[in-house]
Copies of this chain bind each other. A is one copy, B any other.
């Protein structure tokens, strides 16, 4: 529900009207989805367009403008992390030819800041800026397993959205899964997100300068084509490279004894 009581809230409500399934909207669709009058919508869309947050396509519909991509790219835990990770991720993608993603936690969601997909990938669930609940993806499970107890309890106590018949929605089962992720350092999700293509997602943590988990690195393959265990060494090696580049103490090369 957009909070349209304030001026800022109304501006943000216009932006909130847009989403992956609603990337191009007419003025009246924006008005309806934002809960704002057509007059107010018209005025705000005009201002947002002049600034570059929205753009108008030849068919008269509005979409997100490049100014927001430019600004969104400045998110410190977003594309700035991507800049460090991209050569490592690229190598992993070449080696595995799988979908590779880097995700960071935003509240109770994972947001992908990098996504390289296999050319054969049936369905595109992973793209930069993609957002999913933590409990349904490999990267999300890793981020949740290493989050603070407060974050974990909040997710475990909230409703766990179901995406497929296999999605884990029982808090007790999820709690055991998280303990397993912490024990093994690996998050595994099978058929949690889409029923259309049987998928296996495997993810490991990426650590920052304070050795805290700042991101998760994951690959997704068609289920049955590769064993999860076979993907872990390459994932760990790549995650270690990114962690080292981020300054993680535990990922630094051991000091030579004299």
Contact = CB atoms under 8 A, between A and B. Distances in A.
Interface stretch (A69-77, A171-179, A216-224): A69-77
Given A23-B80, A76-B23, A70 B111 contact: yes
A74 B116 contact: no
Interface stretch (A125-133, A135-143, A157-165, A195-203): A125-133
A20 B75 CA distance: 10
A113 interface: yes
Interface in A39-93: 43-44, 47-48, 51-53, 55, 57, 63-80, 82-83, 86-87, 90, 93
By size class, the interface of chain A is 35 or more
A43 B93 CA distance: 44
Nearest to A6: B47
Contacts of A87: 117, 119
Given A9-B47, A117-B87, A64 B68 contact: no
Contact of A74 (B8, B10, B64): B64
Counting chain B CB atoms within 10 Å of each CB, which of A23, A51, A90 scores highest? A51
A73 B127 contact: yes
Contacts of A55: 75-77
Interface of A: 6-12, 15, 18-20, 23-24, 43-44, 47-48, 51-53, 55, 57, 63-80, 82-83, 86-87, 90, 93-94, 104, 106, 111, 113, 116-117, 119, 124, 127-131
7 smallest CB-CB distances across A and B, nearest first, come from A73-B129, A72-B72, A7-B7, A69-B72, A68-B72, A8-B47, A69-B78
